[in-house]
A and B are shown apart, each in its own frame.
Chain A
């Protein structure tokens, strides 16, 4: 897109490209506070404002929780996985990302995995046994069940990895107000994928998604909240 465009230093134009993107991601950004700092355009003001508050608040308890998407995808064993059925009545964390992502995706999943490990030292095993951590790929073409399995094994083999038809994944993500564009090829022929920026916690009591964590949530944030999330309580 604009990355190879040679032009003189005109941040206005550059902002415009960012802004175009921002509009597409506005829904997500509005909830999450994406890294939109720097822009002063009126149309992105709301994003900036949220970003500012988001810096101190990594989680949001939803007034109107999200229903769990009715997704039947393929797990890392190549078997069908019915999200609603498999996670019914279980505390569940869902994240949308892809394995060829060096930055935010492994950090997010590692944060949760390490927090889980820490919590497991303090809580009885039975309390954590029901926890389901679900990683749904946004890049199903590259993230085959085998690739997903290999990657998740490096983080926490108990994480459920799901792949399948992109349109289905995209629709499921959208129900959670996560907008993800299909992977595209850049000018070098490299695949550019998108990841969600938040983790959604589903309550074991209602099966609804009631807490959002943005990408700045740390191990400590998850560690602090997990005991409550396991019970469906508000963190």
Chain B
């Protein structure tokens, strides 16, 4: 399997401060993906917004998040944070038996040129596309601009 090195590093660093490498994904069972803890902080303007979520993989094979579409914006990209800069990446790995964590300060979804400015209490529809698994539709709740999930690291 071919993956982008930088992405793996970003993904691994996020998933877990020392979680095991995903390279043991030689099992024959498929990826079993589910999404949790999705939210979008209410954005400042209608020019951009960020979205966060956790993709859990209970299966024995890794998968990759390749693209995201949404009713909120034409342009949704996946970014990883490298130090203080954010870079667009082409895919993020969801390790076998692990999770891909998109969280504030780490990798995140970036929505640009919004069709509307989402407000706290609304939801934004997303469709996550993967290399192997079927696409997953997510209703992402819009939280306050200062919302921080209580669980996590």
**A: number of interface residues (CB 8 Å):** 59
Asked whether A150 lies within 8 Å of B153 as measured between CB atoms, the reply is no
Residue A190 lies at the interface, judged by CB distance under 8 Å to chain B: yes
Return chain B residues, CB-CB under 8 Å to A9: 1, 3, 5, 8, 21-23
A192 within 8 A of B: yes
A3-B89, A21-B82, A35-B81 in contact; A107/B41 too (CB < 8 A)?
yes
B118 interface contact, C-beta 8 A: no
Name the distance in Å between A43's Cβ and chain B's nearest Cβ.
15
- B145: chain A residues at CB < 8 Å are 106-107, 110, 114, 155
Contacts of A17 in B (CB 8 A): 5-6, 9
Residue of B nearest to A17 (CB): B6
Residues of A within 8 A of B142 (CB): none
Let me know if B6 and A3 touch, CB within 8 A: yes
In angstroms, how far is the closest chain A Cβ from the Cβ of B24?
11
Closest Cβ of chain A to B7, distance in Å, is 7
Across the interface, B84 reaches (CB within 8 A) one of A15, A25, A190, namely A25
B87 touches A154 (CB 8 A): no
Point out the residue from A8, A38, A106 that lies within 8 Å of B18, measured CB to CB.
A38
Given A2-B6, A18-B82, A38-B9, are A154 and B50 also a contact pair (CB < 8 Å)? no
* Partner-contacting stretch, out of B31-39, B53-61, B100-108, B122-130: B100-108
Cross-interface CB contact of B5 among A14, A21, A181, A197, cutoff 8 Å: A14
Whether A38 contacts B17 by the Cβ 8 Å rule is: yes
* Chain A 165-186: CB-based contact to B (< 8 A → 1; otherwise 0): 0000000000000001100001
Query: Cβ of A104 and Cβ of B146 under 8 Å apart?
Result: no
Q: List the A side residues contacting B106 at CB < 8 Å.
A: 35
Q: Does A126 contact B (CB under 8 A)?
A: no
Whether a CB of chain A sits under 8 angstroms from the CB of B137 is no
B121 beta carbon closer than 8 Å to chain A: no
Number of A-B contacts (CB under 8 A): 150
B residues at A contact (CB < 8 Å): 1-10, 12-14, 16-18, 21-23, 41, 43-45, 47-50, 80-90, 104-106, 108, 110-111, 145-146, 148, 153
With beta carbons under 8 angstroms apart, the residue of A6, A99, A192, A195 that contacts B4 is A6
In the complex with contacts A9-B1, A28-B84, A114-B146, A106-B8 CB distance below 8 A: no
Q: How far is the CB of A78 from chain B (nearest CB, A)?
A: 20
A34 interface contact, C-beta 8 A: yes
Quick check: A7 and B4 within 8 Å, CB to CB? Answer: yes
* Complex Cα gap A47–B10 (Å): 16
- Known A-B contacts A4-B4, A102-B48, A114-B146; A192 and B85 likewise in contact (beta carbons under 8 Å): yes
Do B84 and A197 have beta carbons less than 8 Å apart?
A: yes
Q: Within 8 Å CB of B10, what residues of A?
A: 18
CB of B84 within 8 A of CB of A180, answer yes
A15-38 residues at the B interface, CB under 8 angstroms: 15, 17-18, 21-22, 24-25, 28-29, 34-38
Using A9-B1, A25-B84, A38-B16 as known contacts, say yes or no to A18 and B9 having CB atoms under 8 A apart.
Answer: yes
A194–B85 touching, CB < 8 Å: yes
Q: In the complex, what's the smallest C-beta–C-beta distance from B42 to chain A, in angstroms?
A: 9
Residues on the A chain within 8 Å of B5, using CB: 2, 5, 7, 9-11, 13-14, 17
Q: Which of B1, B3, B4, B13 contacts A36 (CB 8 A)?
A: B13
Q: List 20 A-B contacts (CB under 8 A).
A: A1-B82, A2-B6, A3-B80, A6-B3, A7-B5, A8-B1, A9-B5, A9-B23, A35-B105, A37-B18, A55-B153, A102-B49, A103-B105, A107-B145, A107-B146, A154-B44, A154-B45, A193-B85, A194-B85, A218-B148
